[in-house]
Structure 1
Amino acid sequence: MRRRSILTAALAAPLATAGAVGALQSPAQAATWSSSDRWGTWQSGSYTLYNNVWGGGYGPQSIWANSPSNWGVWANHPNTGGIKSYPNVSRTLGRQVSSMGNVSSSFNVTNPTGSGLAYNTTYDVWGNGHAHEIMIWTQWTSNVGPIGSYVTNVNLGGRNWNYYQGHNGGNPVYSFMATSQFTSGTVQITPICQWLVNQGRMPNVRIDQVQFGWEITSANGGKNFNVNSYSTQF
């Protein structure tokens, strides 16, 4: 698994201090698989789950899974800037944008609330290995934001998105932020990729990994992030 090498969100304002440190949530104790290893990985059919604690200054994080559609994370990252982790579920497509077919993904998540939180719920779609990064933000806290600058608003796949474009020093990043945040629904990935190519903003790359999870900057005091259902359709 590749370690994510850049920050795609920043802590924009200090957060309140959270309460006492929590414990690993109970579903992890009886799950089919669980891991507290920062690089913990689990393969299930065509899906791979990653704990993926890749950033600096991180705290403890544990991932559990019964299946790619039923998994979650307990994280206790300090209230400091910089992304600490991107726990995610991944499936590899391996098709050029021009012939990628109808790729969509459906999800239902339960996100934590309270103080000491900075995170975003996002798809991370990679082109030509890790040469191009398409981020599709479905929900986020107010103290994080995308790389780059606002370009335009666009309706793709039946949803409105604010589009941002930037570069992280290693690869271009194309970010689509839902104008109406949501924690369950379906995202049409093909129209987003093809819009980028048709607009001349991205080459006709091969779409490889389609990932979904949370970029967690802080989860002070211990927070639970749960995937209640998930699937990616090719």
Structure 2
Amino acid sequence: MAPRTTLRLARAVVAPALALGATIALASAPAQAAVWSSCDQWGSTTLNGYTLYNDIWGSGAGSQCIWANSGTSWGVWANHPDTGGIKSYPNSKKYVGRTIAGLSSLTSTYNVTVPSSGAYNTSYDIWDTGYAYETMLWVNYNGAVGALGTSQGSLTLNGTTWTVYKGNNGANDVFSFLRSSDSTSGTVDILPILRWIANTKGWMPNTKTIGDVQFGFEITSSSGGLDFVTNNLTVSSS
């Protein structure tokens, strides 16, 4: 998987009928007026130190609109067909700018409302500044979705068990951690996971600088239109 930012522009397919989602998305937004919304394929804005992306990048995508009350309270309405392949990764990101070795803490809290149908995962996507290493943390997932690469077994850190996958998409290494039980709210201690990858497994150098910590919904299908809401999100580092 390439970064859900500019690196994906070159190989993305323009999603059809984006305007269709605009009217429906307004009805799906919260009661208070959103401070920002977009149905553009690459719609983005920065609010409260977080950058939001609509990020419709996959082949055969349908309609999708994103809205935000802030950088940490936002959601999307998406209507993607029941076909294979990831269609989009609407997300909110915060930039860290510290090496793994130089970090003393990197944590995040999340609270989401996700549909019971469709195919998707709710995930963190964490990148080094050179986009050579991608770490995904799936906190919940539904439908026909799966991680890239081969299983490396399970890992338990701070009371949470993850199934670990390691792969490469041709552009970068990908480390995926799938939570053993679905969660719609909680706290993730990210730094011990990065240290395990770098120091315990030696899969990437601990001198790598962590850039973007993204959180969002990797959507494969949401036929008929589904709502995905981030009620609250925080990313903190030191």
Tell me the TM-score normalised to structure 2 length. Answer: 0.87
Alignment of 1:1-234 (within 5 A): 1-4=5-8, 23-24=24-25, 25-27=28-30, 30-114=33-117, 117-198=118-199, 199-204=201-206, 205-234=208-237
Unmatched segments (≥5 aa) in structure 1: 7-20
Deviations 1:13-35, CA, capped at 9 Å, x for gaps: xxxxxxxx992214388210000
Over 3 Å off, 4+ runs: 3-6
Unmatched segments (≥5 aa) in structure 2: 11-20
Question: What is the one-letter code of the residue matched to 1:188?
Answer: D
Q: Is the 8 A contact 1:150 1:164 kept in 2?
A: yes
**DSSP 3-state at the match of 1:190:** helix
Per the alignment, do residues 4 and 160 of structure 1 end up closer, same or farther by CA in structure 2, a change over 3 Å counting? farther
* 1:156 Cα offset (Å): 1.8
**DSSP 3-state at the match of 1:101:** coil
Distance 1:125 1:72 in 2: 20
Q: Is the 8 A contact 1:157 1:192 kept in 2?
A: no
Paired residues, number:
219
Distance 1:69 1:75 in 2: 19
Distance 2:7 2:221 in 1: 19
* 1:3 Cα offset (Å): 4.2
Distance 1:143 1:59 in 2: 18
Answer 1 or 2: higher relative contact order, Cα 8 Å, separation at least 6.
Answer: 1
Q: Is the 8 A contact 2:133 2:172 kept in 1?
A: yes
Per the alignment, do residues 107 and 231 of structure 1 end up closer, same or farther by CA in structure 2, a change over 3 Å counting? same
Distance 1:100 1:28 in 2: 39
Q: Is the 8 A contact 1:96 1:207 kept in 2?
A: yes
Match of 2:17 in 1: none
* 1:180 Cα offset (Å): 1.5
Distance 1:35 1:138 in 2: 26
Distance 1:118 1:193 in 2: 27
Distance 1:27 1:36 in 2: 16
- Percent identical among aligned pairs is 48
Question: What is the one-letter code of the residue matched to 1:34?
Answer: S
**DSSP 3-state at the match of 1:194:** helix
* 1:68 Cα offset (Å): 1.7
